[in-house]
Structure formats: structure tokens, C-alpha cells
Amino acid sequence: MGNVSLEEKVNQLSFQMELLLGLVDWSSRPFEYEVIKANLTKEEVADFYRLLDEIRHQQNEQRRYGLSSVEPLLVSFVGMLHPSLDPGVTLAACVKQGIALEVTEPLYAHVKLL
């Protein structure tokens, strides 16, 4: 490869990643597919899991006060979700993959109604 610039190397890796995304069967790992497609960093994925924890905390607070409205939780989720991720697609991927179902299932059920 000789004197290949960093930009050329990055472009080549990006191209190879696109090819690999098309080759892999993502049916059992749809969340990871969305993460790669959105080009999220490790820290941004960690932020996503922190967001799920925050929504879980909000759910628990609601339950303590006898409330069960999903809409404010969905508003929080959408407002704090990484802008490269689509809320409906991301929630569907999480539910299909079994990620934080106590949080993602009610949000997904509600987002489908919108």
C-alpha cells in the first residue's frame, strides 16, 4: 500500500465496512446493525445504555406515585436519543434483541401508535 494517506485508508475501511454490513445476517443482532449503520462510538453506545437506565429510573419513580404514563418517558427517550438513531427503528431493534425489555417494550408499543 506504500504511501497511502490516512484519508484513503479511512475511505477504504468505510467501504469494507459497508460490504461487511451487507454480508452479515443481522436478524438476531438488529441493535448492533443500527449502531454500526449510525457510526456510533463506544462512548455513544454507553450513553444509550445510560439513557435506558435513566428511563428505567423514571419508570420506577412514576410507579412509586401510582402513575403509568408512557408518553413522558417516550418524550425523554426521543429527546435524549443520539440524533443518528431513529427512535422507532431503534426501539424495534432493542425489543427484537431483548434489550431492556421492561423499558423498550412499552416505549415501542407507544411509538407504534404515533
Confidence (pLDDT) at 17: 87
Task: Please give the C-alpha separations between residue 7 and each of 52, 87, 95, in angstroms, as whole numbers.
Answer: 35, 32, 37
Would 102 be classed as within a structural domain?
yes
Give the number of domains in the chain: 1
Between CA 48 and CA 82 the distance in angstroms is 8
Would 10 be classed as within a structural domain?
no
Range of the domain at 46: 26-113
Please identify every stretch of the chain with a pLDDT value under 70, giving residue numbers as ranges: 1-2
Would 40 be classed as within a structural domain?
yes
The whole-model pTM stands at 0.85
Confidence (pLDDT) at 1: 54
Looking up residue 53, the CATH number of its domain turns out to be: 1.10.3750.10
Confidence (pLDDT) at 21: 85
Over residues 62-79, the pLDDT tens digits come to 999 998 899 999 999 999
Work out the angle at residue 36's Cα, subtended by the Cα atoms of residues 33 and 38, and round it to the nearest 5 degrees.
105
Task: Please give the C-alpha separations between residue 22 and each of 9, 30, 50, 102, in angstroms, as whole numbers.
Answer: 20, 13, 29, 31
Would 47 be classed as within a structural domain?
yes
Would 95 be classed as within a structural domain?
yes
Q: Shortest CA distance to 73 belongs to which of 93, 100, 55? A: 55
Would 98 be classed as within a structural domain?
yes
